[in-house]
Chains A and B, each alone.
Chain A
Amino acid sequence: MAAKTGTYTLIGSATADGTSLSVTFSSIPATYTDLVIVCAITAGNTGDAYLRFNGDTTSLYSDTVMRGNGSVASSVRDSTVPGIDIGPVSLISGSEIGTVIINVMDYANTTTHKTSLIRFSDATSMVSAIVGLWRSTAAINSILFSSRGGNWGSGSTFKLYGIEAAK
């Protein structure tokens, strides 16, 4: 079993300037196995946020959420909704940086529906783990991050990486 060269290739990067409700990565190459998006979010959103794939605005998305706020653990579910919840970004306040790390598994295959693993972390408010589903067999070629209220805070960063499995 011989190891190959490194993976985790930076595909795209974006930094919010405080005037945008959404951030989109498009023309994502289909040459990797998984995608990982690492987001460092500053205060700005007044609503929560979601992601969509390939410009699909229909209700083909769903998610299961597990979360804890320091006193209570809870779980909720969204079914038949127009986007996957990526966490309560509106709880990020002051000079805090909240993180959202998203694993989009086997994103380029054209046989399975696409499932994502998401971790949201904000030290002063909440942590959550989310499993999201897009009921489409299409290969993912674009990802949109949208705020349900307020713009992405100035300085928020979004980095998209490709992870390539051994061939």
Chain B
Amino acid sequence: MSITSAKTGSTSLSLALENNFMEPIASTLVGSGGSGAIEFNDIPQTYKHLQIRCISRPNEAGSSGAQYLYLRINTDAGTNYSRHFLAGEGSTPVTQGAASQNEIRAGYQMRNGYAANIYAVAVIDILDYTNTNKYKTTRSLGGFDSNGAGYAALGSGLWMNTNSINSLTFLCEVGNFVQHTRFSLYGIKG
């Protein structure tokens, strides 16, 4: 079905954009001291979905491989999460899944021995985050490239809780976020 604006004739995405469907809620830019966690609290309950857009780099030592970007919801550190990932690393794609985890793996990040100035990126959507009848599902597109190494990944995560989401916490799998890491939170209207 095609939805068309009676006012302008615009359709689909352009129609949504006309109506300011996406609004900035909050943004965090990490300073020179680094940060152990990125937290968004008191998230308004007035949107349909949330989107997080980020660039990030951990200070974990190492110049190969990768670590995960962790996400916890409403400060829940229990084993109430599950996840699936499909990632390409320049050769054979890899996939993984796990149940009863302590967090969602929301992206891949390089270690701090990679070339300077390169940051991992991710766009993470959290769907129907205020609904109190459903568990909450996330999806993500992210990764990094460092001219000879890197990951391009699609992910999905589940928080097995029907509570409305009012806070998000992002963590490095190992270490802290370094300076210039940025996380921005947006609300998407339904």
Residues of A at the B interface (CB closer than 8 Å) are 1-8, 10, 33-34, 38, 62-67, 73-77, 79-80, 103, 105-106, 109, 111-113, 115-117, 119, 129-133, 135, 137, 159, 161, 163-167
Contacts and interface: CB of A to CB of B under 8 A. Distances in A.
Nearest to A167: B27
A8 B17 contact: yes
B117 A111 contact: yes
B17 A63 contact: no
Interface residues of B, number: 57
Contacts, number: 173
A129 B91 CA distance: 14
B55 to A, nearest CB: 5
Contact of B184 (A33, A75, A109): A33
B18 to A, nearest CB: 9
B169 to A, nearest CB: 14
Interface string B50-90: 00011100000000000000000000000000000011111
A63 B26 CA distance: 30
Interface string B111-143: 000010111111100000000000000000111
Contact of B17 (A10, A34, A74, A105): A10
A7 B23 contact: yes
